[in-house]
A and B are shown apart, each in its own frame.
Chain A
Amino acid sequence: MVNPIYILTLSLAAGFLLTLIDKSGRKLSLTVFYGILSLNVFIIGEWFYRLTFLNTPTVIINTAGFSAPLSINLQLGMQEAFVLLFANLTALLSAVYLFKKFKETHISGLILYLIMIVGVNGLVMTRDLFNMFVFSEILSISTYALITLTETKKSLSAGFKYMIAGGIASTFFLLGVTFIYYFTGNLNLDFIHLGNFSNLGFISIFLLAIAVFIELKPFPANGWALDVYEAVDSGIVSVIAVVNSAAIFFVFYKIMPILPQNFLNVFGIAGVITFFFSNLMGLKQKNAKRLLGYSSIGQIGLLVASLIFTMHLPRSLMYLIVGGFFFNHLIAKAGLFWITGIVKKENLKDWNVLKNNKPLLVLFGILLFALAGFPPFAGFWAKWEFVKMLVHGKMFFVVGTILLGSLFEVIFLFRWFTLSIKGDEKTEHKNISLELSKMFPTTIFAGITILISVLIMKFFYDFNWLHALPVLAVLIINVIDFLPSKIKGILSLAAVLTYGYLIYPLESNIQLFFGIIFIIGSAINIIGTLNRKGKSEGFYGLLLMMIFSFGNLLVAITYLEFFLSWEFMTISSFLLILRGKKAQKASMLYLIFSTAGAYLMMVGFSLAPDLVSNSVLILSISNVSLPIAATILLSIGFMIKSGSLGVHIWLPEAHAEAESDVSPFISAILLKAGVFGLLMVGISYIKHTPSFDIFYWIGWIGVLTAIVGAFLASFQEDAKRLLAYSSMSQVGYIVASIAILSHLGWLSAMYLSFNHMMFKSALFIAIAGVYYRTHTRTMYEMGGLIKKMPLSFISVLIMIIAVSGVPPLSGFGAKWLIYSSFIEKGWYLQAGVLFFASGVSFLYLYRIIHTIFLGQLKYEHQNVKEAPIWFIIPQYIFIIGIMAISMFPNLIIQPLNSIAMRYFNSSIIIDGYTISSSLGYWNGNLVMYVTMGVFVVPLIFLMLFNGRMQKVKQFNIVYAAERPESPQTTHVAHNMYAHYRKALGGWGKPRIWDFWHEVSEWSHSLADSIRQLYTGNGQTYILHIIMYVIVIYFISGV
């Protein structure tokens, strides 16, 4: 083991010697340079290992033969070693990244780099305040000088602003140190205690603390930092944003013990404010590096806040939170800054060059997801625990601010991501050159990000391996991505069924029921994807990730496991939606709403009392009495996912723009995850009904969703949007029935869920087939396809009968159950509205079958064939399912009855095929025979006596000597229900859409007006700093 002082002396000595060494060639000096940097990493790595795993005591190094406080002492404990290892590793990798630059530049570049590392290492280890000042100046001066590695007007002017801002900050630091010495007679941190200070003395601590804090770039005194991030070479910026920030952050950590609590509180809040505002301002940012700058500043604010607010927590938890944020942010940020240097595009819109560059895109994706705090990356766990801790401490305002800030961050990061994948800006598509020296560090950091996630999942939480399965699926499919898509499809089908078998011994029927929807439903839908040609790279990985996450929701035991699977589900479905051709906006909308919902759920789960049993969550939740706030937040979270009115606007976009074989998953299955969640909240709610009847209002929302969805569906020209709104409407029924909180209500909710899964899958697959053949989703451009696609027609016909709720199919049973349950509950008005909504749903159902399959065949569809077999198979499986439960309702009513009986007393009697409620009875079997009879008799009559039918062909129609420009639009199929829309009058306006649009506009203009603060003038920045110091001085009440 090497004395840690060598990491200072070696670099320093090498720094001086490099001028000489360079005389014998750059090769040698580069060897020495990289050798020293690697040696540093090695020495510190060894120390980190010893201190962490071998419990070696903290090392104190005294200098000049005296012990502190007479001499300066350095300290190397576990925390120091952690920060140093990270900083030195980043510095080494950054140096590798800058390899080309270092090969060409003047030798002073290398020397400065080494000296900078000396500054960082010294700053972290020293315990002496004045020594800290010296090291921080060494660090700053070498950094300023390194900025000139690229001499552009921008980088130089940014560097100048940086220097004067840094100069002011270090003046404060120096004054603070001096006065601390004046008041305590000491410069060593270990010998300075809060008690030593008089009231006047606090000013000295204040000066010291604020100087360090300003170096951490608090809003709004941070304009200089943004300019540096934007203008300086990517390799150097990653050092400034990561290595330097880490060191200064650690300095703040070191001086924290001498800061009084009221200072710390102010700094903590200032950190939260910084996080919020920098992410808000990031919304308007179009320059990639400046965007990262905003994110960087915000994350450092969050880091400081997390450090201050978690001081009192147990060590391991504090390490997870602060360490998680630290690692996650800095690694991701370094990697992303490096990538900006590889891509070399400033404007976010030009980043679509990444589209054709898979390795870089993958790295970019990993780092971006990590930065945004999505699982399985460290930021996710840190955020979860941090929010939980803040909620327990009742710091709701802080939680709200942080989560809103995070949402902004997700928005701008993923706008960037989606633009990179789907952006349609026309730029010269020069291939990006992937230099090894630049790709290597980026890859290493992406690898470390993943490694950390594995470590946290394995060692901190010790998850069941099932919960890692979604991620593993992506990885495995990526390995076999060279295979044709059919093979991967079949493998995926097998994997899903195996997964179902694995989790099969489920604890309860309700899990089994949703398991059938999630797993079996998905498996059948996978058949539809077998129609894919080519390789469909990445598709099956994401699909499996989503399906496994559905399944994991069922077997989750803790809140965290549930939430983890929920987030995996969100990520995978977002990426699946993004695969659609024009899905950039749609996927963003989906992600924004989902993330907002997830944050609400995160707070909701944090508010929930601890679980008492080890059963799966859906069972153990019944023993938990959720507070009202938790119930509301969780319900909103789940209702966002199920597309309830008010937060539904993502739904039509996402369903319509997703690839046509993905839509059935999104619509028929994903929405049920929201239903499952809402049932879960309900289970806790019925056992511990609070005074305020939340579910009454949820019921109304469900009812209104049903009717609004039905109307909106009727006015669509696009078949998939029509089906999407129909899903919204149907799930509205389900939500409303759950809200009844009665046996019959839940029975009908689950019955309808099952039914909806089948008919909506089949309808979406049918439309997928039609789209596949006709290449259009606009319904009035089709027509008469009944001749060409009879199998699809039959399937759609049966399914719309099932949706509409006319006898004899299962939809009738669903409607009967729903109305019975509403009337039984006494919700007459709601029942009336739902009844009306059912009427409206006939409009869109008629529209879809009429405009696509009936009427005249369009000329361009003369040669259309029946949908491919892969689309037909799943449809007919679902038809069999629908037929079976229509004929023999007991197949499903019986098990659902027993599930609902777990929570309520049964209110129905099942006798043979007859189901009786207090209001009457329904015999599905009998209804089927009667209806068939009623249908067959007129059919025979027509066939016998209607032989003189004349078929109207396309050319039988006369246009009265005029030929319209686009004849389709003159047809009734176009704008079919215009008169109804007129009748709705003011009710037909897209108010909710407008509302969210306004919200977005307002936040963007707010962001734009706030960022005007950063005028670009160096003097303004100094003024900001001075005013900031004064304001904080008065707030902290020194």
Chain B
Amino acid sequence: MIFSLILGFLLLIIGLYGMLTQKNLIKIVIGFSIVDTGTHIIIVSIGYLSGKTAPILDSTVDLANAAKQVVDPIPSALVLTAIVIGLAVTALMLSFVIKLYQKNKSLSIDDYQELKW
């Protein structure tokens, strides 16, 4: 769990670094996507408990002690939603990038700063 948690945070930071340093709009979106993935890994790793079984109440799980034998299913449920949302946001970002490129033939974020102050 700790390992995946660290991995998640590492990805998150790599993604942020990418968003902050890359000038190319698409790379920024990729950076965001990495941040998103990092977050998802963090979420999943929180629910994971080593040595526990899947949260399905069948013959292998003793009903009375189910809570102690299975991993927490809620983070997994949450992460599914989060992945879907992340996908939508990323897709929308990319479509913005496409529109921007169509209008101005540039993918550099430095070319989009006339709005300021």
Contacts and interface: CB of A to CB of B under 8 A. Distances in A.
The answer to whether A and B belong to the same complex is yes
Interface of A: 130, 133-134, 137, 140-141, 144-145, 148, 151-154, 156-161, 163-164, 167-168, 171, 174-175, 177-179, 181-182, 187, 223, 226-227, 230-231, 284, 1011-1012, 1014-1019, 1022-1023, 1026
Contacts of A140: 89
Nearest to B90: A167
B89 A141 contact: yes
B87 to A, nearest CB: 11
A177 B40 CA distance: 12
Contacts of A133: 82
The 7 A-B residue pairs with the shortest CB-CB distance, nearest first, are A1016-B116, A1016-B113, A157-B112, A227-B115, A137-B85, A1011-B117, A182-B46
Which of A174, A227, A1017, A1026 has most B Cβ within 10 Å?
Answer: A174
Nearest to A1008: B117
A178 B75 contact: yes
B10 to A, nearest CB: 14
Contacts of A148: 96, 99
A164 B114 contact: no
26 contacts: A144-B92, A151-B99, A153-B100, A153-B114, A156-B99, A156-B100, A157-B114, A159-B96, A163-B89, A163-B92, A163-B93, A167-B93, A168-B16, A168-B35, A171-B39, A181-B75, A227-B115, A1011-B117, A1012-B117, A1014-B116, A1015-B113, A1016-B112, A1017-B110, A1017-B113, A1019-B28, A1026-B16
A178 B47 CA distance: 9
Contacts of B46: 178-179, 181-182
B19 A1022 contact: yes
Interface string B1-28: 0000000000010001001110001001
Do most interface residues of chain A lie in helix, strand or loop, or is the interface mixed?
Answer: helix
B117 A137 contact: no
Contact of A163 (B39, B74, B96): B96
A847 to B, nearest CB: 49
Contacts of B113: 157, 1015-1018
A186 to B, nearest CB: 10
A1016 B111 CA distance: 10
A603 B115 CA distance: 39
B109 interface: yes
A1012 B88 CA distance: 33
Contacts of A1026: 16, 20
Contact of A178 (B32, B42, B112): B42
A1010 to B, nearest CB: 10
Contact of B97 (A160, A181, A182): A160
A160 B100 contact: yes
Q: Which of B12, B36, B39, B117 has the most A CB atoms < 10 Å from its CB? A: B117
B28 A141 contact: no
B81 A134 contact: yes
B96 A160 contact: yes
Contact of B35 (A171, A223, A227): A171
Contacts of B112: 153, 157, 160-161, 1016, 1018
B96 A174 contact: no
Question: Could you tell me the dominant secondary structure of chain B's interface residues?
Answer: helix
B112 to A, nearest CB: 4
Nearest to B28: A164
Contacts of A168: 16, 19, 35
A1015 B109 CA distance: 12
Given A130-B81, A144-B92, A156-B103, A231 B115 contact: yes
Contacts of A182: 46
Given A156-B96, A167-B32, A174-B39, A151 B103 contact: yes
A764 to B, nearest CB: 44
Contacts of B20: 1019, 1022-1023, 1026
Given A156-B100, A1019-B20, A174 B116 contact: no
Contacts of A1014: 116-117
B42 A175 contact: yes
A1022 B25 CA distance: 14
B66 interface: no
A627 B78 CA distance: 59
B31 to A, nearest CB: 9
Contact of B92 (A145, A223, A226, A230): A145
Given A141-B88, A157-B115, A167-B35, 19 more contacts: A137-B85, A137-B89, A141-B92, A151-B99, A153-B104, A156-B100, A157-B114, A160-B96, A163-B92, A167-B32, A171-B39, A175-B39, A187-B74, A223-B116, A1014-B117, A1015-B113, A1019-B21, A1019-B109, A1022-B16
Contacts of B99: 148, 151, 156
B22 to A, nearest CB: 8
Contacts of B81: 130, 134
A1011 B42 CA distance: 37
Contact of B115 (A145, A179, A1016): A1016
B70 interface: no
Nearest to A182: B46
A230 B115 contact: yes
B47 to A, nearest CB: 9
Given A164-B32, A167-B89, A181 B39 contact: no
Contact of A153 (B82, B103, B109): B103
Interface in B24-78: 25, 28, 32, 35-36, 39, 42-43, 46, 74-75, 78
A226 B114 CA distance: 12
A137 B81 CA distance: 11
Nearest to B101: A156
Q: Which of A134, A187, A231 gathers most chain B CB within 10 Å?
A: A134
Contacts of A230: 115
B88 to A, nearest CB: 6
A158 B115 contact: yes
A558 B67 CA distance: 65
Give the residue among B12, B43, B96 with the most A Cβ atoms within 10 A: B96
A231 B93 CA distance: 18
